[in-house]
Structure 1
Amino acid sequence: MLSVVMINRGHVRVRQVEMKLDFASDFLGCQGIVFFDGECRFCRWALKKLLSRDITRKLKVCNVRSDRGRALMESYGRRPESTFGYLTPKQMHFDVEAYDALLNGPAPIPGLGVMVAKMPRALSKLAYLAIANNRPFFSSLVPPKADVTIDANRYIADGM
């Protein structure tokens, strides 16, 4: 069983679901798997910054546009190309909750992590949606020379 954190109109709900895909082997030596849009330059840039904070290299990644990433996101009723998620052995986090879990966990960014955790969830969700719905604009702000390549060793099997 896996706990899934869902937010609807500011109400947090945790529900137990049967994991529909097997990721057990991906968790060997790993704390969690970050699901992101591999076609989004801003997403890759932000994820690379996050991964640089993971000094123990315990995070793996999966592109939501890969077959495995797409299948998992669709099993949760999510549109893969607009989903950011963080899967741990016990729980799936989406959107703001994923950032909260990452920024205050394996890839800590103390100031930002505290801000995301303490900000009223409705406000942090609005900020998240403003960024998520304007990814082409934010991608254009990433310097052209910035290396946004994610190390291939960070991907789970068939997750590119």
Structure 2
Amino acid sequence: MKVVTFGELMIRLQPYNYERFVQADHLEFSFGGGEANVAVSLANYGADAVYVTKLPAHAIGQAAVNSLRRYGVDTSKITRGGDRVGIYFNEKGASQRGSVCIYDRAHSAIQEASTADFDWDAIFEGADWFHFTGITPALGPNVVDICREACKAAKAHGVKISCDLN
């Protein structure tokens, strides 16, 4: 089964262990995002997982791409451009204290993407399933248009569509 996921891959910064932001002197650096996590999980289960997004062509964007490749996710459909990778700051909860997550997505490459950045007919060639989340179109009216085009192309290719509305 070939599954295509589409969304924002972000830098995840979090204090070590269970420190709070106000206690932290250092932050761990990794990458995450709902659709990327789905792609990694599916690849770990042996599915052919393809991740689609837009990332800057600089070293941080490449590090994000590499973070998926190491798990066997196909990153060949990622569009390059823009200046920023979205960031989220995560403070892990402990005992009764809940987790805290603060997003910094303004002007990220995917938020500023356009419909011209993605060739959905080529992306869905041989695909069986398309997955995205509700937060992706919420990034802006241009991303609503991108998701609409993706869904229309998926339907035209006979690809099943799922959306996690969280």
Larger helix share, 1 or 2 = 1
Larger strand share, 1 or 2 = 2
Length-normalised TM-score, structure 2: 0.25
Quick one: higher RCO (CA 8 Å, sep 6+), 1 or 2? Answer: 1
Length-normalised TM-score, structure 1: 0.26
